[in-house]
Structure 1
Amino acid sequence: MIGIGTTFRSGEPSLLDILEKIHKGEKQLPDFQRGWVWDDNHIRSLIASVSMSYPIGAVMLMETGGEGVRFRPRTVEGVILDTEIEPQMLILDGQQRLTSLYLALHSLNAVPTRTDKGIDIKRYYYLDIEKCLDPDEDRFDAILSISEDRKITSDFGRKVDLDISSQELEFESGLFPLSIIFDPPKYSSWRRGYQRKFRHDDNKLDKFDEFESLIIQRFQQYRVPTIELLRDTPKEAVCQVFEKVNTGGVSLTVFELITATFAADDYNLRDDWRERKNRLYDYGPLKGVDSTDFLTSITLLSSYQRHKNTGSSVSCKRKDVLRLTLDEYKFNCDLLEEGMIKTARLLIREKIFDDKSIPYQTQLIPLSAICTILGDRFEDDAIKNKLLRWYWCGVLGELYGGANETRYALDIQDVLSWIEDSGNEPRTIRDANFNPLRLLSLQTRLSAAYKGLMVQLMKQGGLDFLNGDPIDLTLYFDRAVDIHHIFPKAYCQSQGYSKSHWNSIVNKAPLTARTNRIIGGKAPSIYIESIEKNHKIETERMDEIMKTHLINPAFLRADDFNAFFINRAAYILDLISNAMRKQVTGRDSEEIINAFGASLALS
């Protein structure tokens, strides 16, 4: 081995040496590695490359026994050990290649693989001696894949095209079984049998000598470049290295790496999360929480606890999650689950009923950790109001849209200091700002502010146009409440109104699917009259219902889109100010007057 640095070394062991150590259990896989998935054609192509001494890429290994990283190992597919072996190395990259070669060249059993259409099959692999020596033959075609009964048939199995189910038939067909290539006794026995069979045929014997020299020896002398991470390589480095080299496999997540780490201490994180997720998903707002969110929240919680005890900095970046200990997880997992349920209850009271209505999924991470620490105190009115002010400033100020780990750490400290010690307002509140011009660009629910404003419109009391019911949890799901145009799209297009106006959030409201069907593409004056007539709603009551959506009834009844638009935009800005408890500035600026056609400052 040639020393390269302090974190890894490189080498070039023989393929035989690697496969032997896999067979003995000295080289295994970390538990986070996915199952072996290569199909039959991939295996044949790999064998063809080795048979011509072509490179098949470097293999990434990691020494075991280090203090920093401990993974539960598992044997490569096909390896059967009499007793449990502690491996010397773990295969980080090269699983598919090494498993394919082990199964095809070393295991002696049929290789469980699949066709290119995904059908499960079992195959033995053979070298066609004649084709391997023919320079005009594609080497891929010289690698035969034979079914478990060692026959190739046609006409739905009625005709046998090739039968090599005995060693004698292998000789006659000129097909060498790759499964014995690294088994000296079996290889020698097969070679002697072949020579006895053709002892009077010099051409056959010469061909085999040439085959042995040019093909067999390439397998036996083949060397595989390796990069070996030293046993003290940090966990985050292992994760990063794995993701960079494993471009042909499935990306390794933080959760999978932590799962493998905890498994070394006989703790099944995957099962724990599966059960915990089922309980959390009983609450609509939590249905988008994934395993990484949960681990990040626990890391944030643990880091804050250490901060309170030792004064250390608070952090929940990827490297911090990877350093989470099993003891920290066990101490906080049930507490955090309860904190998340408290978070869900808080959000449901705010009219956020499901995960698709949550403005920022990421903001649940600090909110859940904060609710965990507050415990039942989060129900106190003063505390709850502070918590909600911080939450809505984050949403309407659109402060959780980028890399958020630093903001998580600042918010958990700021918010709890503000609540518990009457400290300064959190930076998220101080940083939050809403530009009135933003109303025009809020066109779809992809925006957090768009979702947040729809929730605020429901929260402030919007009643259903048809039955006058407030939008609560039951109505939201039973009547399929969604966001719909007030001045219908078709009507606005027919009138030539600007899309930046009619498709903006100012012209939208949370309405039931039934109400939206009745509205159709009609002018507001027409559909309002139809609703009043067909559903026996008095004019005064209909006006009251429209006002709950911050709509001036007179403008709708007169089909006056421009007056409606300016008036409702002003009211929505008031709604934003109330949620953030901060003034929205610039409502009567020249820029706003040019964009909206008038000032948005209510007189």
Structure 2
Amino acid sequence: MQKYSVNQHLIETLLTWVKSGEIAIPEIQRPFVWDSSKVRDLMDSLYQGFPVGYVIAWRNPNVRLKDGSMSEGKKILIDGQQRVTALTAALLGEYVVDKTYQRVKIKIAFNPILEKFEVQNPAILKDSSWIPNIAEAVSGEISILKLVRNYLAVNPEVDEDLVERAFTNLINIPKKQIGIIELSHDLDIETVTEIFIRINSKGVVLSQADFAMSKIASNTEYQGNVLRKAIDYFCHLAISPEFYKHIVDNDPDFAKTDFFAKMKWLKSENEDLYDPEYTDLIRVAFTSQFNRGRLSDLVSLLSGRNFETRSFEDAIAEQSFEKLKQGVFNFMNETHFKRFLMIIKSAGFISPKLIRSQNALNFAYILYLKLRELNVNSVSIESYVKRWFVFSVLTGRYSGSPESVFDFDIKQIHNRPFDEYLKEKEEGELSEAFWNASLPQSLDTSVASSPYFNVFLASQVKANDRGFLSKDVMVSDLISLRGDIHHLFPRDFLKKNGLDRSKYNQIANYVYMQSEINIKVGNKPPKDYFELITNQIAAENKLVSGLSSHEELVANLKANCVPTEIMNMNLEDYQEFLILRRKLMAQKIKEYYFSL
């Protein structure tokens, strides 16, 4: 089956399609990221007759309307948005939305004598040899005769034939051809993705979320364009609350929508534990609302696909947009969002640096929203969400490609009591063998951002543990105030004795310790620096640590999962120490998990 057609079209035809909506360029599907010099270079290439690449469009399927008639699908721009947007900006004088979401005009100037293009600047505006904005020349509002006459009036010394030839070439740019690859409407999203990757020389992977976003934004009938903008604005506001004023000042129509009312609370919110990107927001909204995990299904549903008859129906598209809109509202809801973050923080994950799996966080929010919808009581929801999040992190449940696991999990949660499903997963994947063998082995790593080490730190935060050898300073303080991780067997000591980085940087050798304590520990072996500490306790001075009794010292070691044997250890004991500490860390994580 031929999966696509390739045709050459006039640029002016392409621009007509854009203006009429035949080709949908979502307003903020992707901000215009080219700088003005690239727009200038594109105009020069077209003027010189050089090829400028292909545009790839995917035709929406034809949809059966409520009255029984068929609606012909629009084309969605899959690749080439930057070039097409550059053409509309330079040749039509249209506004573009830049990387900071500002609406700007890009004005390209032309010098017919030099046959050169340049980005408009103050110097060009003062120089009569330049046409300051080519959009005014190619719009057709001025005839070439008048264009030449006006130019010669301020540049009487130049060659009239040269100027006329240059202007003719300029205004004929819209008559140049551009290749359009149109993908068949009945292709599934996986095939479209593969075609895109194979045909794009840069090998840029366009995710299924990108297709979903294009699909949403191209639908004006059910206000998909507004929905897409809401998703973008929420994610932008979550990172930059000051962007609120920009929306009010520059997008008054959106500022009147219910979406904006739902996200206003972000203008004074500085929490950065969960800063979702649009892919995260759409995945959570879709999965929680549709009980499906594959975004290709979302694209199909928004197209109106009836999975049973394999036809496309307007009623299904309308219903799907409404459901997705509700999912986005649920995601943005201030109460939902803040209560979810409170649950994650109450599990000890108080800093974004403790969270390395955005997918685990996304599904935890899906679970929270779903359990609310199923009317599970709030106390149970809190426990279930915490447990499932930590379970996901410990088992790497959503690492790699998460869609099939999302799909499986949400169907289970929707169709049976969650406590049954959770118990089944725990019995299958968190057996005694996991806690006693698999987890200690997983702690045998030098990667400080290891999810297992992050769960261990969260367990310390949850238990209100003090930092190593600290009397009052909490682990939570050291994490949130950017304290440092230090080595129990000092790094310099191990390095000087010939151990390489992978050996001395073991996470079982890591501990949160105040820098001033670490300096006093220095590069001594544990046996020596613990002798200093025990002597200090006996002499009732606090030169190294604020701990004032042997009982406090032992309690501090226990809280940090440091085996008491360390107090008599030297270089030759290092490997034994690592084994002992990994077991203690695993045991603490186990107790922490079942306390959630």
TM-score by length of structure 1 reads: 0.66
Aligned to 1:260: 217
User: Hey, what's the Cα distance between the residues in 2 that align with 1:334 and 1:20?
Assistant: 35
In structure 2, C-alpha distance between the alignment counterparts of 1:455 and 1:197, rounded to whole Å:
73
Amino acid across the alignment from 1:509: V
* Aligned counterparts of 1:523 and 1:474: Cα–Cα separation in 2: 27
Match of 2:26 among 30, 35, 44: 30
Q: Does residue 1:357 correspond to 2:354, yes or no? A: yes
What does residue 485 of structure 2 align with? Answer: 483
CA 1:206–1:245: 2 relative to 1, 3 Å: same
**Greater shift in the superposed pair: 185-194 or 175-184:** 175-184
Q: Structure 1 residue aligned with 2:7, among 2, 8, 11?
A: 11
CA displacement at 1:416 relative to structure 2: 7.2
Structure 1 residue 438 corresponds to structure 2 residue 441: yes
User: Is the 2:22–2:74 contact (alpha carbons within 8 Å) kept by the matching residues of 1?
Assistant: yes
Moved more, 483-492 or 418-427: 418-427
When you count helix as a share of all residues, which structure comes out higher? 2
Give the 5 Å matches for 1:361-376: 361-375=358-372
1:357 is displaced (CA, Å) by: 0.9
CA distance in 2, matches of 1:12, 1:551: 71
Query: Structure 1 residues 231, 286: CA separation in 2 closer, same or farther (over 3 Å shift)?
Result: same
Report the counterpart of residue 406 of structure 1 in structure 2.
404
1:296 to 1:277, Cα distance in 2 relative to 1, 3 A: farther
- Written as runs of structure 1 = structure 2, the 5 A alignment for 1:569-584 is 569-578=582-591
Q: 1:60 to 1:482 in 2, by over 3 A?
A: same
Measure, in 2, the Cα distance between the counterparts of 1:579 and 1:112: 48
SS of residue in 1 equivalent to 2:112: strand
Percentage of pairs with the same residue: 18
1:143 to 107, 116, 122: 116
| AA at the equivalent of 1:575 | K
**Kept after mapping to 2: 8 A contact 1:442/1:450:** no
Residues in 1 aligned to 2:134 and 2:281: alpha-carbon distance in whole angstroms? 51
The worse-fitting range, judged by mean Cα deviation, of 41-50 and 345-354 is 41-50
Corresponding residue number in structure 2 for 1:565 = 578
Structure 2 portions without partners, runs of 5+: 66-72, 99-103, 238-261, 303-319
Structure 1 letter corresponding to 2:179: P
- The CA distance in 2 between the partners of 1:500 and 1:390, in whole Å, is 32
Partner-residue secondary structure (3-state), 1:456: helix
Q: Which amino acid aligns with 1:298?
A: A
User: Matches of 1:49 and 1:570 in 2, distance apart?
Assistant: 65
Q: Deviations over 1:31-54 (max 9, x none)?
A: 234455655654554344334433
Alignment of 1:119-158 (within 5 A): 122-128=107-113, 142-145=115-118
Check if 1:331 corresponds to 2:329: no
Residue ranges of structure 1 left out of the alignment (5+ in a row): 70-86, 114-118, 129-140, 154-161, 305-314, 582-603
- The CA distance in 2 between the partners of 1:527 and 1:318, in whole Å, is 56
2:101 match: none
Return 227-236 or 265-274, whichever deviates more. 227-236
Secondary structure in 1 matching 2:178: coil
Distance 1:327 1:295 in 2: 14
Aligned counterparts of 1:365 and 1:331: Cα–Cα separation in 2: 17
Number of the residue aligned with 1:292: 279
SS in 2 for 1:493: helix
Separation in 1, partners of 2:205, 2:123: 33
8 Å CA contact 2:54–2:181 kept in 1: the answer is: yes
Q: Distance in 1 between matches of 2:562 and 2:160?
A: 96
**C-alpha distance 456-496 of structure 1, shift in aligned 2 (>3 A):** farther
Classify 1:527/1:288 alpha carbon distance in 2 versus 1 (closer, same or farther; 3 Å). farther
State the 1:545 CA deviation. 1.7
Deviation at 1:362, TM superposition (A): 1.5
Distance in 2, Cα, partners of 1:345 & 1:110: 42
Instruction: Tell me which of 448, 451, 455 is aligned to 2:451.
Output: 448
- 1:552 maps to a residue whose letter is P
Contact residue 108 and residue 133 of structure 2 kept, 8 A: no
Residue of structure 2 equivalent to 1:269: 231
Q: Which residue of 2 aligns with 1:73?
A: none
Counterpart in 1 of 2:257?
none
Shift of 1:58: 2.6
The match for 1:226 among 167, 171, 180 is: 180
Question: How far, CA to CA, are the matches of 1:396 and 1:233 in structure 2?
Answer: 38
Aligned counterparts of 1:277 and 1:241: Cα–Cα separation in 2: 40
Deviates more, 1:204-213 or 1:545-554: 204-213
SS across alignment from 1:409:
helix
Question: Which stretch shifts more, 445-454 or 417-426?
Answer: 417-426
Say which SS state the counterpart of residue 25 (structure 2) adopts: strand
TM-superposed deviation, 1:15: 3.6
Q: In the TM superposition, what whole-angstrom CA distance separates every residue of 1:500-559 from its partner, at most 9, and x where no partner exists?
A: 554222222233444434433333344443564313612332222212222233432554
Aligned residue for 2:254? none
How many pairs align?
512
**Superposition map of 1:505-516 within 5 A:** 505-516=507-518
Return the alpha-carbon distance in structure 2 between the equivalents of residues 281 and 442 of structure 1. 40
2:554 pairs with one of 538, 543, 546 = 543
**Counterpart contact for 2:11–2:177, Cα < 8 Å:** yes
1:446 Cα deviation from its structure 2 partner? 2.7
**16, 32, 46: which one pairs with 1:50?**
46
Q: How much is the aligned-residue C-alpha RMSD, in angstroms?
A: 5.3
Which sits farther off after the overlay, 216-225 or 326-335? 216-225
